[in-house]
């Protein structure tokens, strides 16, 4: 009987622990209250709350890419540290025009990280999930793949320099998909080979390429799956989605100048708190912001 009692207790505890973890995570989510405040210079946060047609909590970040100190950053390519035998301490002087220094890498697996781990590892201030990847599985909040350190393959356009220094070659390392749109960042500072002048203005420029291939001068690039806004107009059809159901969403948009970037995250799968958003709703949201183009990630 003692063994039976211990077994019953152990089973009850094993069933209760995942529920306790789930409840603990729910207690950490922000309140359903609207708020707006600056995060950093050139970066502002807004939380929006909707009650109909479904409860929604929407996180919106507006980024001025021309603001001093604002720089995009994308996960470094796999094995990028092995591309050079030594770590250079000075900018690499290009032997060919910078616009021709986008190099294709063999598609290799990367090690998964959580967004928080990525933020801490590279000492960043703001981060979101971007590209789709495989393999992926999500059965319950505690049965899923990948975990941190598991191998995954990045889908769609993915571009980052081999090393985070001026004029290091930018490397393309994602598994390209037809008509998966891309968000591309060019920085004309890196195209300037005269490094004596360090007082130039921030010249980050963002663009969205609907067909999914960034131009050669791209410094950083990521991919989404569907175009939401084109030429300032919200779309209503999304060829890469089988149906349009409320779902957690992450999306990005840019204005006509390429200097304003919007990040939008909609919480989902949380009854009575935030139950996700349709792609058509998300497209209209970006249209209302004044986005020239936007893509769902």
Q: What is the pLDDT tens value at each position of the chain, 297 positions in all?
A: 443 444 555 555 455 545 444 455 566 799 999 999 999 999 999 999 999 989 999 999 999 999 999 999 999 887 654 443 334 333 333 333 334 456 777 777 889 999 999 999 999 999 999 999 989 998 888 899 999 999 999 999 999 987 767 777 889 999 999 999 999 999 665 443 333 333 445 679 999 999 999 998 899 999 999 999 999 999 999 999 888 999 999 999 999 999 999 999 999 999 999 999 999 999 999 999 999 999 999
Tell me the β-bridge partners of 150.
Answer: none
Rounded to two decimals, the pTM is 0.82
Q: Which has the closest alpha carbon to 219: 207, 229, 211?
A: 207
Q: Which has the closest alpha carbon to 233: 294, 278, 190, 279?
A: 294
Q: Is 55 exposed, middle or buried (0-12, 13-18, 19+ CB in 10 A)?
A: middle
Distance in angstroms (rounded) separating the CA atoms of residues 105 and 123: 26
Tell me the β-bridge partners of 226.
Answer: 296
End-to-end CA gap in the chain = 55
The pLDDT of residue 271 is 96
What does the block give as tokens for 59?
Answer: 């996180």
The pLDDT of residue 95 is 39
Distance in angstroms (rounded) separating the CA atoms of residues 222 and 258: 15
Looking from the CA of 89 toward its CB, the CA atoms found within 13 Å total 0
Helical ranges in 32-114 per DSSP H: none
Q: Which has the closest alpha carbon to 111: 60, 147, 81?
A: 147
Residue in this structure with the two tokens 């502002």, named with its chain if needed: 44
What does the block give as tokens for 12?
Answer: 């009850």
What does the block give as tokens for 15?
Answer: 């069933």
The pLDDT of residue 140 is 84
Omega within 30 of 0 (cis) for the link into 135 = yes
Question: Rounded to 5 degrees, what angle do the CA atoms 118, 121, 124 make?
Answer: 75
Asked if residue 182 lies in contact with residue 223, where contact means CB atoms within 8 angstroms, the answer is yes
Asked if residue 67 lies in contact with residue 126, where contact means CB atoms within 8 angstroms, the answer is no
């Amino acid at each position: 009987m003692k063994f039976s009692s211990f077994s019953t207790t152990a089973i009850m505890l094993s069933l209760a622990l995942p529920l306790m973890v789930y409840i603990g995570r729910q207690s950490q989510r922000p309140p359903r209250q609207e708020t707006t405040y600056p995060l950093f210079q050139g970066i502002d946060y807004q939380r929006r709350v909707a009650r109909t047609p479904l409860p929604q909590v929407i996180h919106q970040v507006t980024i001025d890419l021309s603001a001093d100190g604002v720089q995009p950053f994308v996960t470094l390519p796999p094995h990028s540290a092995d591309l050079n035998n030594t770590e250079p301490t000075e900018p690499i002087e290009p032997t060919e025009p910078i616009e021709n220094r986008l190099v294709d890498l063999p598609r290799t697996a990367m090690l998964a990280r959580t967004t928080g781990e990525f933020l801490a590892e590279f000492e960043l201030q703001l981060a979101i999930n971007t590209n789709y990847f495989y393999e992926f599985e999500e059965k319950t909040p505690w049965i899923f793949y990948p975990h941190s350190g598991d191998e995954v393959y990045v889908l769609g356009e993915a571009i980052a320099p081999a090393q985070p220094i001026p004029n290091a070659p930018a490397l393309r390392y994602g598994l390209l998909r037809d008509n998966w749109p891309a968000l591309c960042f060019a920085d004309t500072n890196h195209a300037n080979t005269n490094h004596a002048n360090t007082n130039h203005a921030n010249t980050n420029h963002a663009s969205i390429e609907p067909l999914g291939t960034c131009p050669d001068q791209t410094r950083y690039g990521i991919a989404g799956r569907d175009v939401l806004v084109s030429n300032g107009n919200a779309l209503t059809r999304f060829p890469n989605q089988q149906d349009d159901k409320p779902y957690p969403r992450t999306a990005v948009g840019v204005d006509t100048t390429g200097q304003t970037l919007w990040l939008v995250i909609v919480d989902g799968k949380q009854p009575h708190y935030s139950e996700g958003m349709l792609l058509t709703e998300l497209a209209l949201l970006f249209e209302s912001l004044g986005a020239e183009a936007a893509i769902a990630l």
